[in-house]
Structure 1
């Protein structure tokens, strides 16, 4: 099960000699998974190419694979994450069409169990 942070894929693309080859390789690997986990969506800005790659991943997965997102950002803020409100709307539409939202509320587990404090 591929699990990744969007910013990590973007950073890896920039280190690569050929961003397009990396994208093809990553997309081929990701398309074989039954479950995708996109962790910490929106914590670190994603550049335009990273947004396109993530959009392609979500579009390819739509109605074929299960996708889990972890984020603290409401759907209304996804336009800022992707830098394009239209792209964000398309991703949200695909996500909610067959999706289930699980919302956790309350104190942060890490904060309440921190050694410092």
Structure 2
């Protein structure tokens, strides 16, 4: 298993692009049975970053398990991916054999912080 934030994965792929080893980088990452990509959409990607992410997802398609974490609903992925075609193609591959889990409600971190704050206030 391997965990990345989307920004870290794209940065890793950019380094591979710079030294013409991006294909080898992708192959090495796909040796893991599961690759988790978190914080997708946290920061917008430029055109090259989006294409590198697509290249990675396309290489993993039907070969390896990907887990994607994002706060964005699928119909809004065009907000952080510069090309509509890239967003559609990326989602096409991600969703084909996927199990989508949508969570709602309060963030665990926010709930934990509120509990700590409430506990401190009660002790004073």
TM-score by length of 1: 0.84
Structure 1 match to 2:104: 105
For 1:34-73, what aligned pairs fall within 5 Å after superposition?
Answer: 34-73=33-72
Report matched runs for 1:1-117 at 5 Å: 1-12=1-12, 16=15, 19-21=18-20, 23-114=22-113, 115-116=116-117
1:41-81 deviation line (CA, Å, top 9, x unaligned):
00012222211111011111111111100010011111222
Mark the structure with the bigger radius of gyration. Answer: 2
**Match in the other structure for 2:121:** none
Q: CA deviation at 1:9?
A: 3.4
**CA displacement at 1:18 relative to structure 2:** 5.9
**Could you list the runs of 5+ residues in structure 1 that have no partner in the other structure?**
none
**Do the aligned partners of residues 93 and 12 (structure 1) sit closer, same or farther apart at CA in structure 2, a change above 3 Å counting?**
closer
| Change over 3 Å in CA distance of 1:48–1:116 after alignment to 2 | farther
Q: Which runs of 5+ in 2 are unaligned?
A: 119-124
**Helix, strand or coil for the counterpart of 2:90?**
helix
Query: How large is the Cα RMSD of the aligned pairs?
Result: 2.2
- TM-score normalized by structure 2? 0.80
